[in-house]
Amino acid sequence: MPHSDIGLIGLGTMGAMLALNIADHGFSVSVYNRTTERTKAFMDQAGALTAKLTPCEDLQELVASLAKPRNIILMVPAGEAVDQQIAKLLPLLDAKDMIIDAGNANFHDTQRRAQAANAAGRPFLGIGVSGGAEGARFGPSIMGGGEKSSWDRIAHILSAISAKYQGTPCATWMGEGGAGHFVKTVHNGIEYADMQLIAEVYGVMRDGLGMAAKDCGAVFDRWNEGTLQSYLIEISGKVSGATDPATNTPMLDVILDRAGQKGTGRWTVIESQMLGAPVPVVEAAVTARNLSAMRDLRLAGVSAYGGSDRSLASDAISIADLEQALIAGKILCYAQGFDLLGKAGAEYGWALPMPQIAETWREGCIIRSAMLNDMAVALAEDAGRNLILAPYFRKLITANIGGLRKTAITAQTAGLPVPALSSALAYFDTLTTARTTANMLQAQRDFFGAHGFERVDQAGDGHHGPWLDQHLDG
Ligand code: 6PG
């Protein structure tokens, strides 16, 4: 009996699409799902690819159907389900068989699973897969983590199924253990930030300038032809132009303003705080989603304080200002993301391939954009430098920061909430301030806790102010 090249467990949308993608590239795939009905439905939609697919009713059948050493992709919900699936599989596998977790795992879980696998001498990979259902089917961006030898074992399959940027596969080994899932987490944090920046600019157009959804859509369409060219701007144009078949009104206008989230943005913020590598635009984006979910409180706020008129004079801000705001905001939030990756690499001992991370995001993933190629170039020049200091981006920020400032000020003056844009601006203003006000914080800390401070005119960090004796003497 012929044996399949690879196995895949979990035929939810992403798993099913990935299995079809692998089969489409000529590899044979054995598939298994907890419920057999799902497996049957999957096979029914497989069409011409059926010949490359082997449906299995239980794990034993799946394992027996695979060529050795076996490679098995897990596409089950992140968290407990992954541990349970691994526990069920292990007794059926040989020492050289490899489990590949391709879900949106928390990288700490991947680190733990990789460590357990290493200790037992088993290969294990944790790979981040981005691009939604369409990406999974026709070419996702793939961020791999685990032993390099494990990656090399299936790199030909992952490269074949991945998106291509001018022929280069968007599938990269990022480092050992949870490196791949860490990079995917930061990708998602940036995804949250990029989406929020766009949503805020849409808000200025809708509530400030009184523009109809389709007119906002036309603006996004136009921007997608320029510096902002990206998947997220493209789909923002599409969703803005769509009509609700039920009411024949703009689709956007009937969608409730309460955002969901599965947690990867929050993980990015948590990790950034732990590493002391701030990603304030991502934080603003996560917070904005949380506040959006508190609809009852927001409505109570309107009752208590009144929903003031937030419209702007038609000449208060131009579409060109808004484009500038998005360009500058975008660069600043990506600079934060790459900074976080650099710090994480140093902390966790990964030699993260910074330019290749940007390259891997050029196609297939949700944050794919023209600008990522320029970021890859800037990171190749100097991977440790904050992107805002790269000459190319310095020019771009200098040319566009005025629009960001004008948008933030104009929106705030009218009461339009723009937390991500404001946060991007504050990040820029802080990073261009030689003397911040942290001297005040240090003085306060020393006053109440004798924590000591550094002086501008002497070495050492154990200096104290004159207040200490006085206030301890009482
Ligand atoms: C991707 C996405 C994807 C993510 C969804 C939903 O890269 O394909 O990041 O992995 O799960 O976009 O995320 P939220 O529900 O948290 O918005």
Helices 148-161/13-24 angle, 10° precision: 80
Active site residue 57: no
Report which secondary-structure segment, H or E, holds 460: none
47 Cβ closer than 6 Å to some ligand 1 atom: no
- Find the largest Cα–Cα distance for the chain: 88
| pLDDT tens string 263-291 | 999 999 999 999 999 999 999 999 999 99
Burial of 296 (0-12, 13-18, 19+ CB in 10 A): exposed
User: How far, in Å, CA of 185 to CA of 262, rounded?
Assistant: 11
In percent, the amount of the chain with pLDDT more than 90 equals 97
Per-residue pLDDT, 1: 65
pLDDT at 308: 79
pLDDT score recorded for residue 235 = 98
Cα torsion 343, 345, 349, 352 to 10°: value is -160
Set out the domains of the chain in order of their start, with CATH numbers.
6-177 (3.40.50.720), 185-431 (1.10.1040.10), 438-473 (1.20.5.320)
CB of 126 within 8 A of CB of 180?
A: yes
Q: Is 262 in the pocket of ligand 1 (CB under 6 A)?
A: yes
The H or E element containing residue 141 is strand 141-146
Q: At what angle do helices 391-414 and 419-431 cross, to 10 degrees?
A: 130
As a whole number, mean pLDDT of residues 201-224 equals: 98
| 204-222 average pLDDT score | 98
Q: Is the pLDDT score of 474 beyond 70?
A: no
Q: What is the DSSP letter of 353?
A: -
Q: Is the CB of 77 under 6 A from ligand 1?
A: no
pLDDT number for residue 290 = 97
What is the residue with the minimal CA distance to atom 14 of ligand 1? Answer: 261
Given 147, 176, 191, 359, which residue is catalytic?
A: 191
DSSP 59-105: HHHHHHTBPSSPEEEE-S-SSHHHHHHHHHHGGGS-TT-EEEE-S--
- Per-residue DSSP letters for 319-352? HHHHHHHHHHHHHHHHHHHHHHHHHHHHHHT---
How far apart are the C-alpha atoms of 44 and 39, rounded to whole Å? 9
Predicted pLDDT at 468: 76
What pLDDT score does 471 carry?
Answer: 64
pLDDT tens digits, one per residue of 359-402:
999 999 999 999 999 999 999 999 999 999 999 999 999 999 99
Neighbours of 96 (CB within 10 A): 12
pLDDT value at 347 more than 70? yes
Q: Name the least confident of 184-188, 246-250, 438-442, 466-470.
A: 466-470
At 83-97, the pLDDT tens digits run 999 999 999 999 999
Ligand 1 center to residue 186 CA distance, Å? 11
Q: Give the mutation target among 187, 191, 268 for probing the ligand 1 site: most ligand atoms within 8 A of CB.
A: 191
User: Ligand 1: distance of its center to the CA of 278 in Å?
Assistant: 21
Q: Average pLDDT in the 14-29 region? A: 98
Is the pLDDT assigned to residue 470 strictly greater than 90? no
Q: Helix or strand or coil: residue 418?
A: coil
Confidence band (pLDDT; 50, 70, 90) for 46? Answer: very high
Amino acid at 417: P
**Site to substitute for ligand 1 among 182, 183, 262, most atoms within 8 A of C-beta:** 262
Active site residue 191: yes
Q: Can you state the angle between helices 371-381 and 319-348, rounded to 10 degrees? A: 40
Instruction: Provide the whole-model pTM.
Output: 0.96
- Residue 286 dihedral angles phi and psi, to the nearest 5°: -65, -45
Residue 77 clears pLDDT 90, i.e. is over it: yes
